Amino acid sequence: MARIAPMSGFPEYLPAGRMVEQRVTDVLREVFELHGFASVQTRAVESLEMLNRKGEITKEVYVVRRIHATETDTDSLGLHFDLTVPFARYVLENAGHLQFPFRRYQLQPAWRGERPQEGRYREFWQADIDIVGQGELAPHHDTEVVLVMLEALERLHIELGIPEVLLHANNRKLAQGFYEGLGVTDPLAAIQAVDKLDKVGPAVVGELLGEQGVEPGAVERILALAAIRTADDSFIGEVRALGVMNELVETGLAELAALVGALNTRFPGRAVADLKIARGLDYYTGSVFEIEMPDLPSLGTVSAGGRYDALASDGRNSYPGVGISFGVTRVLAPLLTKGALLASRPVPSCVLVAVDTEETRVAASEVAAALRARGIPCEVSPSAAAYGKQIKLAARRGIPYVWFGGAQGSVKDIRSGEQIAATASLWMPPEDDLKPTIVKTPHEKSDRA
């Protein structure tokens, strides 16, 4: 017998936790579909060549091969580490069958061979939405994908008690134009240095920029730009005051102002312009966003995305897109492991139908069928033990009602002890009891120090 133990970095939930995850993904799916995003699922594996395109991250890929692979097997496969690379491949592979702008959502696990540590997952679910054009894609779609994700996250907050979010937005054009205006020779390298600001602080970022050959005066203004953070469009004046203007900076300012303005109209207080946001990945070309949960700063970035003008391209067409990804496991695994969110019961069943004798089990099954026909989840008692034992079994499994007798029988709420006469084809439980609900258990609201 193999050793039975949890595997670090591969979270699994008990049924009451899994029900929370199901509700979360149900809400995400509903919101995405209401906005016209179609579901896409891609295979778990990509060729290693495809996974290698992004460079840096390759070191964390899980390679997959047949256990009895032979010399002649040329497959070189890896598990996908995000949903963006597979989606770009899917768009290229199926471009002739898709209608653009193409809108898809994708809810799947991804895998990374991370070293096990708190908050790092080797298997994690993501929920991605993207809008991709053929040849061109209007800038208003940047605002659109963020609004859709914020709407979904706002519903998770209101309906399920998932913490509130705050979105930080920036625009790559702004930083790139600004750096170019300062005479920085490798703006992308500078963006990647600034991306480390939260981790290492401004002094170290300044040193990194210096090592890249950026002049001290320019370093100062790059750090000043990165320090700008405003809840409205006053960032525009602050950027202008730094005295580095050009066409790219103007375009970036206009796009960012449009984004932040639209977000604040629809979700006041949920978005800020934050000019240090860089996103390390090199495929972003315009808007970039990061979402955090201010009451749970330890989670870090729970959702992120941006505009990419050249992620996917075949010989004839480019496919510019904009997308945002929500880290389902990143948010849920800590909340579910702590028991901060739970289903009101660990079973779908609302009713346990008691069995008098094994000979009359069929009659109990008919009661159950009548209840199910009206959408009431139920199960028939596994044994014809004394009623007291069957009630105890229901209590143990978390089932709130026990049905006695036939179709014209009685039903007992085992929490209150109240028992009433009932007809299987008519009785309905209170709406809150019909299906498990999500319960926010008392716990520290915040993990802020």
Please, which of residues 299-338 interact with its own copies by CB under 8 A?
313-314
Long-range own/partner contacts, residues 242-249 (CB < 8 A, 24 or more apart)? 242/178, 244/178, 244/181, 244/182, 245/181, 246/177, 246/180, 246/181, 247/177, 248/173, 248/174, 248/176, 248/177, 248/180, 249/173, 249/174, 249/177, 249/178, 249/181
Q: Taking CB under 8 A as the criterion, which residues in 348-367 touch its own copies?
A: 348-349, 358, 361-362
Among 241-249, 272-280, 331-339, 347-355, the segment contacting its own copies (CB under 8 A): 347-355
Residue with tokens 């991250």: 57
Shortest distance (Å) from residue 107 CB to its own copies? 11
Is residue 71 classed as helix, strand or coil in its secondary structure? coil
Q: Residues 56, 135, 140, 445: which binds its own copies (CB under 8 A)? A: 140
Q: Which is nearer to its own copies, 62 or 210 (CB)?
A: 62
Query: Position of tokens 């409205």?
Result: 232
Residue tagged 């070191």 (tokens)? 59
Which range binds its own copies by CB under 8 A, 28-36, 290-298, 317-325, 441-449?
28-36
Q: Site residues for its own copies, window 71-100 (CB under 8 A)?
A: 78-79, 89-90, 92-94, 97-99
Query: Under the criterion CB under 8 A, does residue 159 sit at the interface with its own copies?
Result: no
CB of 27 to its own copies, least distance (A): 14
Q: Measured between alpha carbons, how far is residue 3 from residues 6, 7, 173, 280, 337 in Å?
A: 10, 11, 53, 39, 22
Contact positions with its own copies (CB under 8 A) in 34-53: 34-45, 47-50, 52-53
Asked if residue 441 binds its own copies (CB under 8 A), the reply is no
Residues 375-404, interacting with its own copies (CB under 8 A): 375-380, 382-383, 396-399
Task: Please identify, using beta-carbon distances, which residue of 49 and 118 lies nearer to its own copies.
Answer: 49
Q: How far is the CB of 238 from its own copies (least distance, A)?
A: 26
Residues 6+ apart with CB under 8 A from 95: 134, 314, 317, 319
Task: Count other C-beta atoms under 10 Å from residue 41's C-beta.
Answer: 12
State the nearest-atom distance from the C-beta of 423 to its own copies, in Å.
Answer: 19
Residues 177-216 that bind its own copies (CB under 8 A): none
Cα→Cα distances 290→13, 120, 193, 301, Å: 27, 18, 17, 6
Check: CB of residue 402 under 8 Å from CB of residue 352: yes
Q: Which of 27, 54, 123, 413 binds its own copies (CB under 8 A)?
A: 123
Q: Rule CB under 8 A: choose which of 22, 134, 212, 264 binds its own copies.
A: 22
